[in-house]
Amino acid sequence: MMYNQHALSAVFPAMPENELAELAADISEHDLRAHITLYEGKILDGWHRYKACIQIRKQPRFVDYKGSDPVAFVRSANWHRRHLTPSQRALVEVELNKWKPVGRSAVQTENGQNCPITKSTAQMAASSGVSTSTIKSAKAVAANGADVLKDAVRDAKIPVDKAARIAKLPKEQQAKALKAPKKKTAPNKKPDSLEQKYATLKKDYNFLVDKHNVLVDELRSVEAFRSEKAVIELKHMGEYLRTAERRRDELMIQVREMRSQINYWKKRAEKSERGEG
């Protein structure tokens, strides 16, 4: 008997062919390490193990899902073992959230208890570790995107914000938009001089150093003291110290410049006294 992939399993990216071949070789050598889970007559978890077994003509081992929350099961089985991009996570989160069991309403759970099973945009963003705008883009793709567009996001070929813009087109035009060549960017303005680049990099570096030092000071303060007053006092002392160090460095530069000018004029004076100037 042949099985199809369950919709909940299909929200996750497909395994690349080279990795599937490696999985098939591993199963051939070491046997199937985990059962393939069935739900609603389809494969809920283990789709790629199933495909690998078919490739090497090995009989898979199956087990029926007996739990009450297949969404949580699939999420737990796939979320952390896949290296998903933010766009992939957002689309997976939206598609998991909109799924409902066969024959049940959107507010009815497996055990018949009536309660909402949908999350808000903010909840989905927090759950998947992305911004609310990324979730909104994923919602637009899930609602209006053609299968080819969803697959492009799912396979990390296109970011979800760009896919959301393409999803505004009629579905028959979306595939063509995916293949459209990238627009050539306008020529950049005259590149900055080395001095300007150095100044910009130095400014960014100093900013990051200051941020690092502030965080270190705060951590040490929290670890060493429980008094809020002491923490604030130490923070101020740290900021004052860094300001003083910065001013010291600036003065050192000025001193070197002054010293160079002094040497220059001293040599001019000596030449003048010898009648060489």
pLDDT tens-digit readout, 32-57: 888 999 999 999 999 999 999 999 99
Q: Distances from the Cα of 128 to the Cαs of 14, 29, 60, 75, 236, in angstroms? A: 19, 36, 32, 11, 37
pLDDT band at 11 (very low <50, low <70, confident <90, very high): very high
Q: Residues 200-222: what's their mean pLDDT?
A: 63
The predicted structure's pLDDT at residue 93:
93
Q: Distances from the Cα of 18 to the Cαs of 14, 15, 22, 52, 238, in angstroms? A: 12, 8, 6, 11, 54
Closest CA to 73 of 10, 123, 8, 3: 8
Q: How are beta strands 36-39 and 62-64 bridged, if at all?
A: parallel
The predicted structure's pLDDT at residue 213:
61
- Tallying the residues shown for the chain, one arrives at 277
User: Is 114's pLDDT higher than 60?
Assistant: no
- Between 260 and 199, where is the model more confident? 260
Closest CA to 178 of 133, 145, 210, 143: 145
User: Is 151's pLDDT higher than 60?
Assistant: yes
What does pTM read for this prediction? 0.59
Tokens of 255: 């001193």
